[in-house]
Amino acid sequence: MKILVGVKRVVDYNVQIRAKADGSAVELENVKMAINPFDEVAVEAAVRLKEAGQASEVIAVSIGPDKAQETLRQALAIGADRAILVLHDGTTEPLSVAKTFKALAEQEGAGMVMLGKQAIDDDCNQTGQMLAALMGWPQGTFASGLTVSGEQIEVTREVDGGLETVALNLPAVITADLRLNEPRFASLPSIMKAKKKPLDSIDAASLGVDLTPRLELLGVVEPPARASGSVILANAAELVEKLKTDAVLV
Amino acid sequence: MATLVIAEYDNAGLKPATLHALTAATQLGGEIDLLVMGHGCRAVAEAGTGFAVGKVLLADDAGYEHQLAEPCAALVVSLAGDYSHVLAASTTQGKNLLPRVAALLDVGMVSDVMAIETADTFRRPIYAGNAIATVQSLDPVKVLTVRATAFEAMVPGDGQAELAVLTPVAGPGGSRVVGEELATSERPELTAARVVISGGRGMGSKENFALLEQLADKLTAAVGATRAAVDAGFAANDMQVGQTGKIVAPELYIAVGLSGAIQHLAGMKDSKIIVAINKDAEAPIFDVADYGLVADLFEVLPELKSML
């Protein structure tokens, strides 16, 4: 079974982002970029399935500018076998990304697609579900546990009330939650090795997918700031008194 | 123009998140229909007829048990022709189902809507809530999940909506639920509680979380946790508050032994009053808290408990 795993190049999660002065978008000039943390978990999960002899090949895929090559190299350093970059400048929306993945999954004959549960830039949490819909495959979202047995995969899902385990017929789409695994640290030898692994760049147009955005971004603002700095109280008694005065406690 | 709201419920009836979603739907203008999918859920649909909605649609069939996305999406898509908007609360269930519906309809989707400006223009948080984007949907059908904490809950009235029973629609199948491990709690639901007390890594152990629970019982509060506390095994995963956990906006949020990482703040910074208890005066949580106590939580928590 071939596993296709999606990775997105996003602003590093430690960066405090700013809206552009004209309010048109988020400032992305000279900002540190990194692999989306959920995607790193997805790559690790796919590589572990290969190491366990349950997958034959792990193919990392990204859609974005030429610089997304760095992100794919990170996935290769974790242990993906090869990578495909679908070159596209400009906005990518979950629906168009899902359509691109569908084209690639069909082309490669993938038996599973692993994605992160959401990207930390647009916070959409849609792509995996959309891809499953387009493929007509079952979906295992917010996965924190995976067990492959033959033509089935059991997925433990993190849901609002606790955990739910679903059995899905393969092929299927899985989206990784943070607790699925702890991605390995890419060692220097594995980073060097990753530089020699195949990375194909293809043009989005060659897949015949329409990437026109369905949403128009009208503007971006920073959220209203809270009154900065707390009133530091001396002790618990003072806190209880304050909360009673503010009528929060009755 | 009409809106289809997808209901979420438990044994007791409609979940609070759905009541918030119904209020969001009223802001779109037009009729609202409520869809209840499941098995043995007729009572929920009947309770739904008490709300100010046009119709309650009931799909009661063994195939919809557990509301799996595969069969439920097929049903929603079969109904979508009659609606301009399909809407659900931004819960794990809503997030699991609606993107599947949107893709089958070949439309984009807007997640986690926090404000409705017009019937096609919405505001939503991006970058862990550090920016708010205004987006306009160009598609004929708008598929939305809404952030429950951003809208009031609809209260049941003496409405007498019509109850319509639907014929099941064949879905793709391929999935079934084989196990459930639901956390049980006597305390209010995290996303609907008036008061939330959350602990972080500073709690030190699972046993120490009992200190928060005792205080929570005094305040009829829900107990939350940071990702660090969940990963350390101090608390269950469904207690996580933050960008990838639950979003809460209670009247009072008490943050205990947590530093205030941006991923956590994304889940609670819309709380009305935030109290921080931390022994590190430099912790970022003090930048958003209204009241702060720079003190050892193991001294403060028992004190608070005895005073309340």
Residue A210 in any domain: the answer is yes
pTM of the predicted structure, to 2 decimals? 0.95
Residue A238 in any domain: the answer is no
Residue B69 in contact with residue B100, Cβ under 8 Å?
Answer: yes
- DSSP-derived 3-state class of residue A153: strand
Q: What is the ipTM of this complex?
A: 0.95
Residue A244 in any domain: the answer is no
Residue A110 in contact with residue A4, Cβ under 8 Å?
Answer: yes
CB contact under 8 Å between B130 and A17, yes or no, is yes
CATH code (residue A168): 3.40.50.620
Q: In what order do the strands lie in the sheet with B131-137?
A: A215-221, B131-137, B121-126, B115-118
Distance between CA atoms of residues A93 and A96, nearest Å: 6
- Answer yes or no: is B227 a known binding residue: yes
In chain A, which residue's Cα lies nearest the Cα of B127? A121
Question: Can you identify the CATH homologous superfamily of domain B2-165?
Answer: HUPs (3.40.50.620)
CB contact under 8 Å between B293 and A232, yes or no, is yes
CB contact under 8 Å between A138 and B121, yes or no, is no
CB contact under 8 Å between A214 and B137, yes or no, is yes
- A239 closest CB neighbour out of B108, B236, B275: B275
Question: Can you identify the CATH homologous superfamily of domain B195-307?
Answer: TPP-binding domain (3.40.50.1220)
Residues B191-202: tens digit of each pLDDT: 889 999 999 999
For B106, the token pair is 């070949």
Domain extents for chain B? 2-165, 195-307
Residue A231 in any domain: the answer is no
- Domain of A45? 2-225
Q: Which residues of B touch A93 (CB under 8 A)?
A: 108
Same fold, B2-165 and B195-307: yes
How many structural domains are present in chain A?
1
Distance between CA atoms of residues B189 and B222, nearest Å: 6
Tens-digit pLDDT string for chain A (250 aa): 999 999 999 999 989 899 999 999 999 999 999 999 999 999 999 999 999 999 999 999 999 999 999 999 999 999 999 999 999 988 899 999 999 999 999 999 999 999 999 999 999 999 999 999 999 999 999 999 999 999 999 999 999 989 999 999 999 999 999 999 999 999 999 999 999 999 999 999 899 998 999 999 999 999 988 877 778 888 889 999 988 887 776 5
What's B155's DSSP letter? P
What's B148's DSSP letter? G
Residue A250 in any domain: the answer is no
Q: Which residues of B touch A235 (CB under 8 A)?
A: 293, 295, 303
Residue A234 in any domain: the answer is no
